[in-house]
Amino acid sequence: MVKEATEKVIPNPFVPYPATLTSSVDLTTDVKLFTLELDRPEDEFDYKPGQFAFVSAFGVGEGPFGLASVAYRKEGLQFAVRRVGTVTNALHQLEPGAKTGVRGPFGNFFPLDDYKGKNIIIIGGGIGFAPLRPVITTILDNREDYGEVLILNGARSPSDLCFASEFDDWAKPPRTKVELTVDAGDDNWNGRVALIPDVLAELGPSPKDAIAIICGPPIMIKFTLTRLKNLGFGDEQIVTTLEGKMKCGLGKCFRCNVGEKYVCRDGPVFTFAEISQFIEQF
């Protein structure tokens, strides 16, 4: 059990890689998409869809955010950040050129290679859609590896739909559908006004050779899960990424645990087969 503390200098895992904010774009009224470049080439890291990193607003603190970009495109590290607290407020005030820091990548990822040949259903609600964007990018960049793809994106209102400018591109490839829905429309909205679980029931995707990837607020996940099960999806066919309060990302601060599992290290990506084995309700 006890490991010998070694004499060699151990790098401090709390020190982030210095980075510069290169662009900051409004996605919705309270969500911005940040693009960061690491300052030192030797810090460059590889990462997979579903992983996350901590972004620092020096002087305020740091917070964990899902990586919204894909590593192989080398377009910088992207994070979609909703303004909800002190750190995200501070990040929203940064101008391009500002110095920041990145610590990561942390956590596991969506095993997209294992999903090859399968039909994919991607369901995201609100800011919960952010960690799904690299999943979509990866699948569409390797379109022929996957079967039918259904993307279902919902939000409270049309102006809360994340990545709206990319929907058209996502719908271009064959056998790919993008469905949008909002809880409440506005004057310019011609689309659906319905809750995600209801839209899902209406679309009725087949569970055969399919994987459903969902992310969103707890209440949405709860009801979406019920609908997927009604459609015949098994627990192991449903994958989600959990959100937990985190401070370290290293499995040390014991804040994001669900039972003996850490969201930061054992997750954040879990199948519902795994979640149903958790001792603690989440």
Partner 1 sequence: MTKILGKTGLESWLHNIMQERALVAPKHVGDLILFDPVQSVDEVVFDYENTNLSPKEFFFPRTDTLFTTKSQDNDVELIPTIIDQETVIFGIRPCDARGIAMLDGPYLDDPADSLWAQHRNKTTMIGLSCTKPAPQCFCTSVGSAPNDSSSVDIMLTEVDDGYAVEAVTEKGERLLQGVELKESDVTLSAPSCDTSVPAEGIVETVKKVFDSPYWSRLADRCIHCNVCAYVCPTCYCFDIRDRTDKGKIERIRTWESCQSKGFTRIAGGHDPRADKGSRLRQRFCHKLLYFPQQFGPLSCVGCGRCVVSCPVNIDIREIISDLQELGAKVG
Partner 2 sequence: MGEDFTQQIRDKAKELLENGAVECVIGYETGSDGVSARPAFIYDAAEVDRLAFDNTCTHNLVKYLLDKKGKSTAVVVKGCDSRALNLLLSERQIQRDKVYVIGVVCPGVVEWGWNKRSEQLQKRCNWCRQHTPVVSDFAVGEPITEEPPAEFADVAEMATKTAEDRATFWRDQAERCIRCYACRQACPGCYCIDCFVELLDPEWVGIRIAPDENWMWNTIRAYHLGGRCISCNECERVCPVNIPLSLLNRKLEQEVLDLFDYKAGMSEDAPAPLITFKKDENLGIAE
Which residues in this chain contact partner 2 in the complex, by CB under 8 A?
85-86, 89
Q: Give whichever of 9 and 187 is closer to partner 1, judged by the CB atom.
A: 9
Of partner 1, partner 2, none, which one sits near residue 88, judging by CB under 5 to 8 A according to partner kind? partner 1
Q: Which two tokens stand for residue 232?
A: 């015949």
Distances 183 to 136, 138, 154, 180, 202 between C-alpha atoms, Å: 23, 28, 8, 11, 16
Q: At what angle do helices 196-203 and 218-230 cross, to 10 degrees?
A: 20
Residue 12 sits in the site that holds partner 1 (CB under 8 A): yes
Of partner 2, partner 1, none, which one sits near residue 7, judging by CB under 5 to 8 A according to partner kind? partner 1
Identify the burial level of 204 via C-beta atoms within 10 angstroms of its C-beta, where 0-12 means exposed, 13-18 middle and 19 or more buried. Answer: exposed
For 128, list phi and psi in degrees, rounded to 5: -60, -15
Q: Give whichever of 29 and 89 is closer to partner 2, judged by the CB atom.
A: 89
Of partner 2, partner 1, none, which one sits near residue 150, judging by CB under 5 to 8 A according to partner kind? none
Report how many helices (DSSP H) and strands (DSSP E) the chain contains, helices first: 6, 15
Half-sphere exposure of 186 (CA within 13 A, CB side): 8
In 3D, which of 96, 34, 114 has the Cα closest to residue 66? 34
Of partner 1, partner 2, none, which one sits near residue 187, judging by CB under 5 to 8 A according to partner kind? none
Q: What is the x/- site pattern for partner 1, positions 17-56, by CB under 8 A? A: -x-------------------------------------x
| Listed ranges 94-102, 135-143, 181-189, 192-200: which one lies at the site for partner 1 (CB under 8 A) | 94-102
Residue 60 sits in the site that holds partner 1 (CB under 8 A): yes
124: DSSP letter: E
Q: What is the x/- site pattern for partner 1, positions 191-230, by CB under 8 A? A: --------------------------xx------------
Q: How far is the CB of 88 from partner 2 (least distance, A)?
A: 11
What is the spatial distance between Cα 276 and Cα 282, in angstroms, rounded to a whole number? 10
201's CB contacts (< 8 A; 6+ apart) are 227, 230, 231
Residues forming the site for partner 1 (CB under 8 A): 1-3, 5-7, 9-16, 18, 56-63, 82, 84-85, 88, 97, 99, 101, 217-218, 243-245, 247-248, 250-260, 279-282
